[in-house]
A and B are shown apart, each in its own frame.
Chain A
Amino acid sequence: MSTAAAVETRALEKEFGPRVAVHSLDLTINRGEVFGLLGPNGSGKTTTIRMLCGLMAPTGGSASVVGYDVASQSERVRERIGYMSQRYGLYDDLTVAENLRFYATVYGLHGRARTERLAEHASQLGLTERWNQLAGTLSGGWKQRLALACATAHTPEMLFLDEPTAGVDPAARREFWRSIYVLAGRGTTILVTTHYMDEAERCQRLAFLSRGKLIGIGTTAEITAQFGQPTIEDVFIELQRRDEGAIAGTIAGAAT
């Protein structure tokens, strides 16, 4: 494991035609951090994560993840990261065990090492009791837990979670965050996007994105102080209001 930052971006940029989704992003995430990426819908969170995971090529700037450049060393990056999307990416026709085995194999685990790793992993994440159930028949909370297990079967150094708790009940969310702290306790760096402000407050540091730009970074206390708001939720709502104001301004400007 190198000593470089877990994530480091320099003027990272993504344009979709005339629309700029991510605008000159400079972001550093330290090793072992649980880092929250916040912002209204369409602020560029998912695009940022997709660029960092190598799912999307940046149109400008550079980014390194766990010490490797995402453009030139994408294979190295992919071996060392885990990614869990909003859609979970599970095979509904396979059982819990088969999903885990499949993803572990794709990450190069075989034979006895795989069996042992998965047994330990499943018991840590509490999946053993559903071992032979079809993934398609799992409830939302269990699917989420399985998706997390699949994304971390190869003990990645860094884990990307894109709105992992959208659409699951509060108990499952609490359980999920317990698992995240288990992973963080082992030294895994975690980048998570969320719309739930209670979850944002569980992160060690936060970054706020608005219309593709980084507009605030720091601990919860630092951010609330920076925006002069009592809570993170107020910061969020204030930002959304500004965004809408800016859009309304552009429309008004275009009309005159």
Chain B
Amino acid sequence: MRRDRLTLIMMTGLPAVQLVLFGYAIQTDVRHLPTVVLDESRTSDSRRLIATIGNTGNFRIVGDVADRHALRNEILAARAAAGLVIPADYARDLRAGRTATAQMIVDAADPQASGAAMSGAQLAAAALSTQIMTEQAGAAPPIEMRVRPWFNPAQRSAIFIVPGVIGVLLTITLTLITSTAIVRERERGTLEQLVVTPIGKTSLMLGKLIPFVLVGYVQMSVVLGLGVLIFKVPIVGSLPMLYAMAIPFMVASLGVGLLISTVAKSQAQAMQLSFFFMLPNILLSGYIFPRVAMPDPAQWIGLALPLTYFLKVLRGILLKGVSLADVWEPTVTLVGIAMLLIAISVRRFRKTIE
């Protein structure tokens, strides 16, 4: 292993790169959308609206434009992603007690970014409306909805992503690296050479698999450590429970790796098959995209993936501090999948080394 530089780099470099890439790049929370303002009203009322919108944090006012044509150009040139239009009669309507309209034009080419912007604008307007109404009526607003985002109050996506990186990395190590390592031994004839020695098939298999579990634990610790240091990921729950829960997940992933090694004829094939397995894991397990938003068939596929359950448990422990009783359902399913996968793959593997 010391001289197998490539595997070593893959195993140690990968966690760091993945973590930083995903932690920083996949910022699903949209903030500071560059916004231009077309203020045809030019009153204290319109400036109040602009300030309210700017204060939401969703928008960053980057400048004023003279007319609609200029606003369009700013958005086309991607210098702005949103434009706030306040018509000339805004203040007059407001003062007269009529509904005043303002317009938020959003570049919806990126639906995720625009979605957040649109709801942000509506929220800001609603907030301002209540404020103005209370001022006019001189009474407290009848209903106030106070939103309290639990477990991730700042709603930072890194906190959501980092536990996912742990799960995805373990999947990579235990399927991709395990399967290619075993296929390589078969290609080089060392596996055959080991089978003729007196060590039993069980100890041969354990000898091949246990090191990867240890590597998995090291990776998990590295990612967790970096996550806490760089992204301030909280560890609310119990670490021993987290490490214990990793076992059924690693066993399941090892089963997949072993299974791939019995099917693949070359290292290249093992790698392709592993990536083929990785894809649904990344897309459908809830690692990045919320599973509740997926169509049913995609959710069903997700239900077959060990990562789906592991992520539930992992996020539960890290962010919410759940106990085993809270996550017994995904835990039991995960253990079941793990036992099934390892049983099938061990049987197949035994056959191939006969």
Contacts and interface: CB of A to CB of B under 8 A. Distances in A.
Interface of A: 53-57, 75, 78-79, 81, 83, 85-94, 103, 106-108, 134, 150-151
Given A89-B190, A134-B3, A79 B354 contact: no
Interface residues of B, number: 18
Given A78-B197, A93-B1, 17 more contacts: A53-B196, A54-B196, A55-B192, A55-B196, A55-B354, A57-B354, A81-B196, A85-B193, A86-B189, A89-B191, A91-B188, A92-B188, A93-B4, A103-B193, A106-B194, A106-B197, A150-B193
Nearest to B196: A83
Residue in A90, A94, A106, A108 whose Cβ sees the most chain B Cβ within 10 Å: A106
Contacts of A56: 354
B21 interface: no
B198 A78 contact: yes
Contacts of B354: 55-57
Given A56-B354, A93-B3, A134-B3, A87 B188 contact: yes
Given A56-B354, A57-B354, A93-B3, A106 B199 contact: yes
B contact face: mostly helix, strand, loop, or mixed: loop
Interface string B165-198: 0000000000000000000000011111111111
B193 A79 contact: no
A134 B5 CA distance: 14
B166 to A, nearest CB: 29
B333 to A, nearest CB: 37
B197 A90 contact: no
Contacts of B194: 89, 106
A71 to B, nearest CB: 12
B195 A55 contact: yes
A contact face: mostly helix, strand, loop, or mixed: loop
A91 B190 CA distance: 7
Contact of B192 (A75, A89, A94, A106): A89
Nearest to B3: A93
A92 B188 CA distance: 9
A83 B200 contact: no
Contact of B200 (A53, A75, A86, A89): A75
Residue in A81, A86, A91 whose Cβ sees the most chain B Cβ within 10 Å: A91
Contacts, number: 55
Contacts of A89: 188-194
Residue in B191, B193, B199, B354 whose Cβ sees the most chain A Cβ within 10 Å: B193
A169 B281 CA distance: 51
A187 B351 CA distance: 34
B50 to A, nearest CB: 65
Nearest to B203: A106
A67 B1 CA distance: 39
Interface in B85-123: none
B198 A85 contact: no
Nearest to A79: B198
A54 B198 CA distance: 11
A86 B188 CA distance: 10
Contacts of B199: 106
Contacts of A83: 193, 196
A81 B197 CA distance: 8
Nearest to A134: B3
Contact of A107 (B2, B190, B197): B197
6 contacts: A55-B354, A89-B188, A89-B192, A92-B188, A106-B197, A108-B198
Nearest to B5: A93
A85 B191 CA distance: 11
Interface in B189-221: 189-200
Contacts of A93: 1-4
B10 to A, nearest CB: 15
Given A55-B354, A57-B354, A107-B197, A85 B192 contact: yes
A106 B193 CA distance: 11
